[in-house]
Amino acid sequence: MAVGLFTACGSDGDTGGDADTAEDFDFSCPERTDGDPQIDEAANESQPFVFGTPGDPTSLDPILASDGETFRVNRQVFDTLLDADCTDTVPGLAESFEQNEEGTEWTFHLREGVTFHDGAALDGAAVCANFDRWANFKGGFQSPNFTYYYSSVFGGFAENDPAMGVEAESIFEGCEADGLTATIKISHYTSSFPGAFTLESLSIISPDSIAAVADVEIPAADSPLPEYTQTVGTLAGTGPYKLQDWNHSEQEVTLVRNDEYWGEPAHVKTIIFKTISDETARRQALEAGDIHGYDLAAPADAQALIDAGYQVPIRGVFNLLYLAYTQGHAPLEDHAVREALSYAVDRQRIVDSVLPAGGMVATQFMPPSLEGYSEDVATYDYDTEKAKELLAEAGQEDLTLTFCYPTDVTRPYMPAPKDIFDIIASDLEAAGVTVEARPITWVEYIPTTRSGECPLYLLGWTGDFADPYNFLGTWFAAPSTEWGFDNQEVFDTIAAANTEPDAAARVDLWKTANETVMEELPGLPISSSPPSIAFAPNVYPPDVSPLTREDFSQVSFTTGS
């Protein structure tokens, strides 16, 4: 094991070294070692805490959002029925919940005395108003472009609009309110529950806000987001912060402390999320003191920042980067070709040289911290000769494939898309495949890859809650253009695992599902890695989350040296 060659003089107790296998990793969220914060009350009141984000949020209505940048803002303002601590599901707006034996009725006992920012009180009726609103969405609201998470959890809507491409039947059967309880009924069990009740998209908004936007329509799947999602003031939540301003031209969202918050009140009075898309510019802004923290630090910057006294807390690993083989582009239907491509890629090198410390090679389409992770999947270990043989046997010695990668972005699971692309492309060429590069800007990247245009492409996923369906189900629950394969066995094993109410039996079914997926080999899982987040020395950072779900009410400026 390589240990750093250059260590500072007089360093002691440095247990340098790299972890290489799943067993070496601690996926639980470790206890913080930085002690209690020496809170600087004066600074908290007088100074805004500015956090540099890699991208703009898209929507201030949480149900219409499906990206991490939007979640980051909304989760400070809105609350969910249940919350996540590390990857565990813990109480949120509901103090407790119970389910019936079949897992088809979920009863939530809400906290007392919670009020929305607009003064309305939280009760069972308010919760049900939210669920009823979502279930009865019409027109463009049903498009996965807007309500991706709702339809991925509940299948469809009360009346599916065929023009929006949502075909699955809704499993939501109704919501009953009784004082401070709300009971949500679904038609059959899915393993997404209760984790799905922690989704930022399913945040509870004020019943008055729901009434205010009841008449808003989204005409088509490609319509812009409604006006009310772009300005503050329409929707009220219950969170530790209230929305104060969203300055689109300055790319800043300003939040101000909610002094009537039901939980522990936030330390810092004003928080500003400022978009700085370039990672070097984010680092320079932190070094210049313009911002007090930022997300997605370049792996190479992490050590330099630590050496200079900045804080770079390590997140748990809960994401997955993969290389997709879109079937429908000949000859990717040929299993031997997919196998050959998989053998050709040196994933260990990507982990060792590009990803942040603490990353690991992925053997299946979910991180090892989840139950249902299988040790018995086919792993396709790096072997160029084997790749060549397989290609020769398949008669594909002159294979040319277009390979897409995003140009202007870093993702939590993918710090340097172009470098990763370069390494994989060179590995494939070594196995005799000609690679045609197709760089695509991030805005167009998701639609392009989802439509199946790219034979090979890089993409990934950060888990929303600790359930295998949030990974496997996201991709392989049904035929899709982004993968292009139609293997009923895969769909059936995932459905079987997802609807199995017995926990022990479910774990085994998920293992089978992972093995079946890796047998089909719709793509190559590359890595799981901890995305880096950095803070200034005079800041007490929030608990970092493997879900990238940081609670900024914990942030404080600190006194001392």
CA 18 from centroid of its chain's CA atoms: 26
Q: Which token pair is 558?
A: 């600190």
User: Can you tell me the distance from the alpha carbon of 561 to that of 549, in angstroms, rounded to the nearest whole number?
Assistant: 29
Question: Could you give the CA distance from residue 522 to residue 338 in angstroms, rounded to a whole number?
Answer: 8
**Chain-centre distance of CA 38, in angstroms?**
32
Judged by beta carbon, residue 400 or residue 481, the one nearer another protein is 400
DSSP 233: T
CB of 27 to another protein, least distance (A): 20
Residue type, 125: A
- Rounded to whole angstroms, the Cα distance separating 553 from 139 reads 37
Cβ 30 to another protein shortest distance, Å: 21
Give me the least distance between CB of 354 and another protein, in Å please. 5
CB-nearer residue toward another protein: 123 or 346: 346
Q: How far is the CB of 3 from another protein (least distance, A)?
A: 12
Q: Please say which residue, 111 or 349, places its beta carbon nearer to another protein.
A: 349
Nearer to another protein, 302 or 366 (CB): 302
**For the chain, what is the radius of gyration of the CA atoms?**
24
Q: Which residue lies nearer to another protein by CB, 436 or 502? A: 436
Q: Compute the least distance from the CB of residue 478 to another protein, in Å.
A: 34
Q: How far apart are CA 198 and CA 435, in angstroms?
A: 41
- Find out whether 405 and 437 touch, Cβ atoms under 8 Å: yes
Q: State the minimum distance, in angstroms, from the CB of residue 245 to another protein.
A: 33
Helix ranges, 451-502 (H): 472-476, 488-498
- For the bound state, the minimum distance from the C-beta of residue 287 to another protein, rounded and expressed in Å, comes to 11
Closest CA to 370 of 422, 296, 320, 328: 320
Report in angstroms how near the CB of residue 506 gets to another protein at its nearest. 36
d(CA 381, CA 74) in angstroms, rounded, equals 41
Of 364, 367, 404, nearest to 547 by C-alpha is 367
Nearer to another protein, 135 or 425 (CB): 425
> Which one, 58 or 348, has the nearer CB to another protein?
348
Give dist(CA 183, CA 187) in Å, integer. Answer: 13
Q: Dihedral sign, CA of 260, 265, 268, 274?
A: negative
Tell me how many helices (H) and strands (E) the chain has.
15, 20
Classified as helix, coil or strand, 132 is: helix
Query: Considering the complex, what minimum distance in angstroms separates the CB of residue 6 from another protein?
Result: 9
CA atoms within 13 A on the CB side of 557: 19
Residues contributing to the site for another protein (CB under 8 A)? 4, 280, 298-300, 302-304, 346, 349, 352-357, 407, 415-416, 418-419, 421-423, 425-426, 429, 436-439
- Residue whose CB is less far from another protein, 284 or 474: 284
3-state secondary structure of 159: coil
Three-state SS for 479? coil
Shortest distance, CB of residue 300 to another protein, whole angstroms?
A: 5
What is the C-alpha to C-alpha distance for residues 539 and 541, in angstroms, rounded to an integer? 6
d(CA 466, CA 471): 9
* Contact (Cβ atoms closer than 8 angstroms) between residue 461 and residue 528: no
Buried b (16+ CB within 10 A) or exposed e, 420-436: bbebbbebbeebbbebe
Nearest residue (CB) to another protein, 94 versus 305: 305
Handedness of CA 115, 119, 125, 126 (dihedral sign): negative
Shortest spacing between CB 418 and another protein, in angstroms = 6
Nearer to another protein, 60 or 428 (CB): 428
| Closer residue to another protein in complex, CB, 423/459 | 423
For another protein, which is the closer residue by CB, 84 or 276? Answer: 276
CB of 308 to another protein, least distance (A): 11
Residue 523 CB, shortest distance to another protein, in Å, is: 22
Is the Cβ of residue 158 or residue 308 nearer to another protein in the bound state?
308
Residue with tokens 């103090």, as numbered in its chain: 95
CA 560 to chain centre: 35
CB of 320 to another protein, least distance (A): 18
Instruction: Assess contact for 268 and 556: CB atoms under 8 A.
Output: yes
Write the Ramachandran bin of 509: left for phi over 0, alpha for psi from -120 to 50, otherwise beta: alpha
